[in-house]
């Protein structure tokens, strides 16, 4: 069981630490490039954030084998055999379906990246709460992309296919969170103050996930990795719940997050394990349902990017 304070903890588990070559990238790119134009006034990204790495080394990936993906570790950020779009997704905290534009090489050419924080910044980051640390990590990556790749993006929204998560016909099948079942007898921390529990998510033994003390909004924020679209929580359920969701996980869920471009698709992703689809599991096990609709989705458009000089 792992403690989860934000969706990126889950994304990192599914995408950054275990990413595989995309099998649906080309189709997703073509589909996304045909999406409607931006709605409303786009906001050009400001100049590179002032927060920056102390040292950055970027080289084309040449040696097969070993780790593939990107991760933050204390004091540094490391990528091996990583596509530039992966880094952009992490830097702007978006899924691939929320990006558009850019040359083809950002989806195909792999790089090794080693970026080191200054000792002072690293010490400061380690003291921050998770979400504040994640925000600074994003600023560091945005600064690196602007400096070394000359990245310029525009923020906006598009009307795209999405899923609405709603209560199914026969009502929800959910149990209110029981923290004492997960943490028996634990009510205060070492300082004597009452403990405030956050949502915890772990792997279910039969495939799927175990949620404890989680909101349905949290569930909705993780579902895009399985269904390939942004999911809007329209259940109206405000409580915290304990539940297990057993389903056939999609082998290409990680690829979906890494695939160049990406698009909302009407075709289900191929399963990597046996069991019901995520759509069936939600309805049968939780009394919830995914309904196809359209809605505004925050996106970033890649206006300009250049290959980095090797160092």
Q: Which neighbouring-strand residues pair with 58?
A: 113
Q: Which neighbouring-strand residues pair with 88?
A: none
First to last CA, the chain: 40
Q: What are phi and psi of 62, to 5 degrees?
A: -130, -20
Q: Which neighbouring-strand residues pair with 198?
A: none
Q: How many whole angstroms from its chain centre is CA 195? A: 28
Structure confidence at residue 197 (pLDDT): 63
User: What are the tokens at 138?
Assistant: 């994003």
Give the C-alpha separation, 235 to 153, whole Å. 34
Q: 């206006």: which residue's tokens? A: 303
**Taking a C-beta distance cutoff of 8 angstroms, is the pair 68, 190 a contact?**
no
One-character DSSP codes across 18-81 = S----SSHHHHHHHHTTSPPPEEEEEE--SPPS---SEEEEEE--S-SS--EEEEETTEEEEEE
Give the C-alpha separation, 286 to 283, whole Å. 6
Q: What angle do CA 254, 256, 260 make, to 5 degrees?
A: 120
**Long-range contacts from 121-125, C-beta under 8 angstroms, 24+ separation:** 121/51, 121/54, 122/74, 122/75
One-character DSSP codes across 264-275 = --SSPPPBSSSS
In this prediction the pTM is: 0.65
Structure confidence at residue 62 (pLDDT): 82
Instruction: Render each residue's pLDDT in the chain as its tens digit; 311 residues.
Output: 433 333 334 333 333 333 333 322 332 322 333 333 444 444 444 444 579 999 999 999 987 766 788 999 999 999 999 999 999 999 998 888 899 999 999 999 999 999 999 999 999 999 998 889 999 999 999 999 999 999 999 999 999 899 999 999 999 999 998 865 555 555 566 666 655 567 888 887 777 899 999 999 999 988 988 888 899 999 999 999 999 999 987 654 333 333 333 333 444 444 455 689 999 999 999 999 999 999 999 999 999 999 998 88
CA distances from 55 to 47, 74, 115, 141 (A): 20, 14, 6, 12
The residue among 244, 261, 265 whose CA lies nearest residue 299 is 261
**Taking a C-beta distance cutoff of 8 angstroms, is the pair 143, 54 a contact?**
no
Q: Which residues contact 98 (CB under 8 A, 6 or more apart)?
A: 230, 262, 297, 298, 299, 300
Q: 């400001």: which residue's tokens? A: 46
Which burial class, exposed, middle or buried, applies to 218 when counting CB atoms under 10 A from its CB (0-12, 13-18, 19+)? Answer: buried
**Taking a C-beta distance cutoff of 8 angstroms, is the pair 10, 240 a contact?**
no
Per-state percent for the chain, helix, strand, coil, to nearest 5: 30, 30, 40
User: What are the tokens at 123?
Assistant: 């010490």
């Amino acid at each position: 069981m792992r403690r989860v304070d934000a969706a990126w903890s889950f994304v990192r588990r599914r995408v950054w630490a275990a990413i595989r070559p995309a099998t649906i990238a080309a189709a997703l790119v073509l589909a996304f490039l045909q999406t409607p134009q931006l709605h409303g006034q786009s906001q050009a990204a400001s100049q590179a954030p002032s927060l920056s790495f102390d040292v950055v080394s970027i080289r084309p990936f040449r040696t097969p084998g070993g780790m593939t993906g990107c991760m933050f570790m204390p004091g540094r950020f490391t990528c091996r055999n990583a596509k530039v779009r992966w880094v952009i997704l992490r830097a702007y905290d978006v899924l691939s379906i929320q990006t558009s534009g850019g040359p083809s090489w950002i989806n195909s050419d792999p790089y090794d990246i080693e970026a080191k924080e200054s000792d002072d910044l690293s010490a400061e980051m380690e003291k921050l709460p998770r979400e504040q640390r994640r925000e600074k990590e994003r600023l560091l990556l945005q600064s690196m992309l602007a400096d070394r790749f000359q990245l310029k993006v525009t923020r906006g929204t598009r009307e795209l296919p999405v899923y609405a998560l709603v209560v199914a016909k026969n009502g929800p099948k959910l149990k209110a969170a029981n923290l004492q079942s997960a943490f028996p007898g634990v009510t205060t921390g070492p300082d004597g103050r009452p403990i405030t529990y956050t949502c915890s998510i772990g792997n279910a033994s039969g495939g799927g996930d175990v949620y404890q003390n989680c909101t349905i909004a949290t569930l909705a924020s993780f579902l895009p990795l399985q269904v390939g679209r942004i999911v809007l929580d329209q259940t109206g359920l405000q409580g915290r719940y304990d539940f297990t969701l057993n389903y056939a996980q999609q082998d290409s869920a990680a690829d979906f997050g890494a695939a160049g471009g990406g698009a909302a698709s009407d075709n289900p992703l191929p399963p990597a394990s046996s069991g019901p689809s995520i759509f069936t599991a939600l309805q049968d096990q939780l009394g919830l349902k995914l309904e196809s609709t359209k809605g505004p989705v925050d996106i970033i458009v890649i206006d300009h990017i250049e290959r980095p000089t090797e160092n």
